Structure 1
Amino acid sequence: MLIEDEKNKILKADKLFSLILKEINTGLTPNDVLDKIYETFREVIPYDRMGCALIDDKNEVVTSKWNRADYQKKFILHGYSAFLNGTSLKNIVDSGNPRIINDLEEYFSKHPDSKSTQLILKEGIRSSLTCPLVSMNGPVGFLFFSSKEKETYKNEHVEIYMTIADEVSVIIEKSRLLEKNMELNELKNRFIGMAAHDLRNPLFIISSYLSMIRRGKFGNLSPKLEEKLELIHETATHMQDLVENILDVNIIESGEMKLNLELLSIAEIFNEKCGEQELFAIEKSIEIVRDFEEKIPNVMIDRSRIGQAIENLVSNALKYSYSGSKIFCCVRHEDNYIKVSVQNKGQEIPEADRNKLFQNFGKTSVRPTGGEKSIGLGLAIMKKIVESHGGTVGFKSNKIENEFYFLLPCKD
């Protein structure tokens, strides 16, 4: 009967964990998961207190990161730490096996130097089960189950506890990796931002002097020199565009982009940006066709930023369109959003390259048709701007045409 009861508890534990795992995918933190376990697993395992401690990267110090109890007065709190070597916890790490102590008073009489045992006894705890948390990269910490009653834990409980410990280990490891990635990404953004900022002023000075030289401020120029200066000017302009785009990405990703939202006509802004791109279109013998639906409702947007997103959308289409073709700039009101799109008769984007679109420096194998330089940031910046407005971006590509678009939410 006892064996059957334990089997039922294990099955119940599996069901409870399945429910928690579903919620993990919604973005629960390790602490959220531990709270869920504490609130739901009492049906299958006994405890008055639970705790979780993590080992540092050097495997030298263990620190309490989370704990909950049925009582208020606790002595082992968040942040409590101790050296790992020379403790009974080190033996658990080395063996990889859980430890059951069913009489903590007796244990303390034999190990009077154990500060953590002394503190947990002051809380009224009399028995404990400690499970090692182990990931693919090694030990990460411990999960503690504690009871105010002696002789609470039996070997039959270990399977349930180790199932919980295994799942918590995975969650903690994922969380740690995410934190490290975020730290590295922040460091990268700071470095790129500083480098780009430091390049901005020298490039401005170079461009200014180039303009003065080309206008004859320092004397007449030979045709050959004019040709060389034109190449230098194009390179300097390209570098300035690159620096400005990098600074834009850095501002957006750091969360420092401030939006000045106004109720505006997106069709008006689109029309202005099409006009600004006309000269480039004429140089490539490309016709810009405006196709704006009538009575498009105004939307809450930042004029400058959405203008930048539209400019990137149109210039991208012009870069990859053939000479003598047309691009179609469209605005539509569909359901609860405004669709802004640009269609062109260009090269089909290969399936293998499509995941690079809208990514920072995401260049595909498709090349601009007029030899234009491509930084690979235009669509990425557009995506970030649109998403900051609560919108989404997308594209369609086939052998006949390409369409890039974004959707902005609106109210009728």
Structure 2
Amino acid sequence: MNAAPTLRTTLSEIECFAGLDEQMLHRIGQQMQTHCFDHNQIISREGDAGDWAFIVARGDVAVVKKAEGGTPVHIATLRPGDWGGMMSLFERAPRSATLRAVGEVELWALGHETFQHLLDTTPGMGASMLQFLSRRLRNDSFTLASALQYVDAMGFEAIYRECSPQERLILDTINQQVAAAQSLDGVMNFLYDSISRVGACDRLSVAFIVEDGVRVVSHWTRSDADPLSLPIGYAADLNAGSLKQVIESGRPRVINDLPQYLQAHPQSGATQRIIDEGMRSGMTCPLIVAGRPIGFLFRNAREVGAFDEHQVRLHGAIAQSISQAVEKAYRIEELTEANRAYTEMLGFISHELRSPVASMVTDARLLVGGYLGDLTDEQRDKIQRSIEKGEYLLSLIREYLTLDQMESGMLQGTMQPSVDFTQVVVDPAINLVESDAHARGMSFAREYDDHCPRIACDPDLMKMATVNLLSNAVKYGRPDTTIRVTVEPGDQRLGVAVWNRGPGFTDEQRSRLFRKFSRLDSPELKQVKGTGVGLYSTWRIINLHHGRIRARSAAGEWAEFAFTVPTQQPADAPDPEQQSEANDA
């Protein structure tokens, strides 16, 4: 079956064909054929004759290589848009690995003879293909070497041969012990105790990649430092720091002199916190399951230069061995916590919102307005209080509906190319909360020009985010004070800040600000009703716009929440600066 009608767009997005014009892409697409495979079906086996290459059109393809002794090793996963079978295509060589369908798979295949003809007759294709192939071979070779250096029947051949008897005992028992552990805490405590017996380990922690792969959150830590400067719950945006490079390399990263590293990277707040705990060396190892990064295993020591090459290889082998068990334990805890939180939320809603709240508020307003007869002052006051309670319940409904949209992936945003941000977003947002502010004797200081540069954004979502920040300033700010709203145009970015006098928050509390259902544990703050959803929703909206949000405060005096967004939205990847101040390293 000819696959050309649906293939042209895909071909244009592949690097080796990106420079070709539409006519050439159409010609190439006409020469490719579609092949379909069921889940777990073998596409080709290692050693089979190979004379065709392919593009993954749908589904995933597992690449499995036999190690010494015949042990199969999963070395890569090909996803839609990825190439496969390149070596066989160029040389008619036997397949270097087994390909297996993961789910239902559809491939677009290109035969050897057809490929050679296209190379001869399509200007620019040969050079483009060779450059692409060179990069692909280099990456695959590294991936294969990284996988095979640890593999034998027990899982760690190269490192196993150079281990001490005590280290071998740990490697021999690690799978059994980890499998028997009933929780993530059990897995990690076993690791801490075991690693401490064979190398420097004064701190061990694990963090997981969450929020659709854009955020890393510390989930478990054991350290001889007390208190922890880098606590459980500390978060950082994956794309904003060096952790993404660790994921891309697939190898442990070692920093054997943390103070020296901090001098070269003074913006790394996480490094400063680790140093504050007395640590001087650090090792970061990616946790990868079936080619999918799930998090990081961090190990620290108090002395400089604690980790030699042997310790790095041993740590990498251990990380490979425990990744799957750690993820399973974490997912169980995550599901348990999510089930508990949502059960509580649903119980709350069913209890508080059983009656039609909106109708109740409307009827009460009719009464207060005198449409159904005169009321005494006491009656009017009582009904007005009922209206306020009903409006509060309606605000809860709106917040949870917004959260539900975000969690279900329905909140995608409708970008408009040219939005007057002050007139369409900021001014209407202030108008929405102004009556609540006046009721507390508060006023707004608008520190911006009437006409700021137009930006590309979803005005409704950005207004929602701005209202959230303004509402918090009104709710948590001190009465009879001024809320300062600033809009500052920048170099291809627009900044918005909301400042208010009030209880603020401490540095330790800051990391919890943008987390779902999280409220700060402060008596003054707890007096104000809230759900812990508003700031999280704001973070998601700013993140959707490839922006950055931050928070700063002088505890007991003032607080400021600010965000910046690009004036023009990128077409694909998130902005490299996108991050949350609450998550800043």
Indicate the TM-score class for this superposition, using the shorter chain for normalisation: 0.5 to 0.7
Cα distance change of structure 1 residues 336 and 187 upon mapping to structure 2, 3 Å threshold: farther
Structure 2, unmatched stretches of 5+, are 1-59, 75-94, 104-152, 156-171, 183-312, 570-585
Aligned residue number for residue 50 of structure 1: 72
* Residue identity matched to 1:261: M
Give the residue type in structure 2 aligned to 1:266. F
Are the structure 2 counterparts of residues 73 and 286 from structure 1 closer, same or farther at C-alpha, using a change threshold of 3 Å? closer
Q: How many angstroms does 1:163 deviate by?
A: 8.6
Deviations 1:234-285 (A, max 9, x none): 1111111111101111111221113110021222221222233332232222
Q: Is the 8 A contact 1:200 1:240 kept in 2?
A: no
Amino acid of the residue matched to residue 406 of structure 1?
F
The gaps in structure 1 that reach 5 residues or longer are: 1-30, 53-68, 80-97, 101-129, 141-160
Say if 2:319 is the partner of 1:167: yes
Tell me the amino acid that sits aligned with residue 319 of structure 1.
K
Deviation at 1:349, TM superposition (A): 1.4
- Residue 307 (structure 1) shift: 0.4
> Contact between 1:341 and 1:406, CA under 8 Å: does it hold in 2?
yes
Distance 1:229 1:163, change over 3 A: closer
Task: Summarize the Cα distance change of 1:271–1:200 in structure 2 as closer, same or farther, 3 Å threshold.
Answer: farther
Partners of 2:181 and 2:514 lie apart in 1 by 38
SS at match of 1:136: helix
Are 1:225 and 2:372 matched, yes or no?
no
Query: In structure 1, what is the equivalent of residue 482 of structure 2?
Result: 326
**8 A Cα contact 1:193 1:250, kept in partner:** no
Contact 2:483-2:499 at 8 Å conserved across structures: yes
The superposition leaves residues 364-385 of structure 1 with CA deviations (integer Å, 9 ceiling, x where unpaired) of 216369x763333222221111
Deviations 1:368-410 (A, max 9, x none): 69x7633332222211111121112111101553211112123
Of residues 392, 395, 402, the one that matches 2:551 is: 395
> Residues 456 and 568 of structure 2 are in contact (CA less than 8 Å); yes or no, is this contact kept in structure 1?
no
The match for 1:267 among 381, 404, 422 is: 422
Give the alignment partner of residue 208 of structure 1, picking from 353, 357, 362.
362
Aligned partners of 1:312 and 1:378 also within 8 Å: yes
Say if 1:133 and 1:168, in contact at 8 Å, map to a contact too: no
- Say yes or no: does 1:281 pair with 2:447: no
Which of 144, 169, 180 aligns to 1:138? It is 180
2:565 to 398, 408, 411: 408
Q: Which residue of 2 aligns with 1:123?
A: none
- In the TM superposition, what are the counterparts of 1:140-155 in structure 2 within 5 Å? none
- C-alpha spacing 1:368/1:134, structure 2 compared with 1 (3 Å): closer
Quote the offset at 1:228 in angstroms: 1.9
Partners of 1:164 and 1:347 in 2: CA distance: 45
Distance change >3 Å, CA 139–CA 348, structure 1 → 2: closer
Q: C-alpha displacement at 1:348, in angstroms?
A: 3.3
CA contact (8 A) 1:342 1:405 kept: yes
Task: Flag the 1:137–1:212 CA change in 2: closer, same or farther, 3 A.
Answer: farther
Please state whether the residue corresponding to 2:356 is helix, strand or coil. helix
The whole-number CA distance in structure 2 between the counterparts of 1:402 and 1:163 is: 43
Is the alpha carbon distance of 1:337 and 1:185 closer, same or farther for their aligned partners in structure 2, counting shifts above 3 Å? farther
1:258 aligns with one of 409, 412, 425: 412
- Aligned match for 1:363, one of 486, 508, 519: 519
Q: Is contact 1:312–1:379 with CA below 8 Å preserved after alignment?
A: yes
- For residues 564 and 401 of structure 2, the distance between their equivalents in structure 1, rounded to whole angstroms, comes to 25
Q: 2:455 aligns with which of 282, 299, 304?
A: 299
> CA RMSD of the aligned region, Å?
4.3
Q: One-letter code of the match for 2:383?
A: L
Query: How far did residue 316 of structure 1 move?
Result: 1.2
CA separation of 1:255/1:200 partners in 2, compared to 1, >3 Å: closer, same or farther?
farther
CA distance in 1, matches of 2:496, 2:326: 38
Structure 2 CA distance for aligned equivalents of residues 78 and 350 of structure 1: 48
**Aligned partners of 1:163, 1:278: CA distance in 2, in Å?**
57
Instruction: Give the secondary structure class of the aligned counterpart of 1:387.
Output: helix
Aligned partners of 1:171 and 1:326: how far apart in 2? Answer: 52
| Maintained 8 Å contact 2:486/2:496 | yes
Partner Cα separation in structure 2 for residue 301 and residue 332 of structure 1: 16
Contact 2:503 2:525 (C-alpha < 8 Å) held by counterparts: no
Letter in 1 for 2:393: M
Q: Deviations over 1:101-123 (max 9, x none)?
A: xxxxxxxxxxxxxxxxxxxxxxx
SS at 1:332 equivalent: strand
Cα 1:78–1:273 change in 2 (3 A) is closer
Corresponding letter in the other structure for 1:50: P
Would the alpha carbon gap of residues 180 and 255 (structure 1) be closer, same or farther in structure 2, given more than 3 Å must change?
A: farther
TM-score, with length taken from structure 2: 0.42
Q: Rg larger in 1 or in 2?
A: 1
Q: Look up the match of 1:176.
A: 328
The correspondence of residues 88-127 of structure 1 with structure 2, limited to 5 A, is none
> In structure 2, what is the Cα distance between the partners aligned to 1:278 and 1:242?
19
The answer as to 2:393 corresponding to 1:239 is yes
In 1, Cα distance between equivalents of 2:377 and 2:509: 42
1:267 counterpart letter in structure 2: T
Cα drift, residue 214 of structure 1 = 2.8
Match of 1:20 in 2: none
One-letter amino acid of the structure 1 residue matched with residue 559 of structure 2: N
- Count residues in correspondence: 291
Aligned AA (1:173): A
Counterpart for residue 5 of structure 1: none
Q: CA–CA distance in 2 between the matches of 1:323 and 1:243?
A: 27
Paired with 1:247 and 1:314, the residues of 2 have a C-alpha distance of 20
Give the match's secondary structure for 2:430.
helix
- Partners of 2:420 and 2:451 within 8 A in 1: no
Superposed CA deviations along residues 180-236 of structure 1, whole A, max 9, x for unmatched, are 466557767876579859948721222222223333444433332222222222111
Q: For the structure 1 residues 220 and 338, does the alpha-carbon distance in structure 2 shift closer, same or farther, using more than 3 Å as the test?
A: same
**Structure 1 residue 330 displacement after superposition:** 0.8
Identify if the C-alpha distance between structure 1 residues 133 and 290 changes in structure 2 by more than 3 Å, giving closer, same or farther. Answer: same
SS in 1 for 2:470: helix
Deviation at 1:343, TM superposition (A): 1.2
Q: Among the aligned pairs, what percent are the same residue?
A: 18
2:505 maps to which residue? 349
Contact kept, 8 Å, 2:364 with 2:387, in 1: the verdict is yes
Displacement of 1:295? 6.7
Alpha-carbon distance between aligned partners in 2 of 1:308 and 1:99, rounded to the nearest angstrom: 55
Which residue does 2:541 correspond to in 1? 385
Per the alignment, residue 495 of structure 2 pairs with 339
Contact 2:412 2:544 in 1 (8 A): no
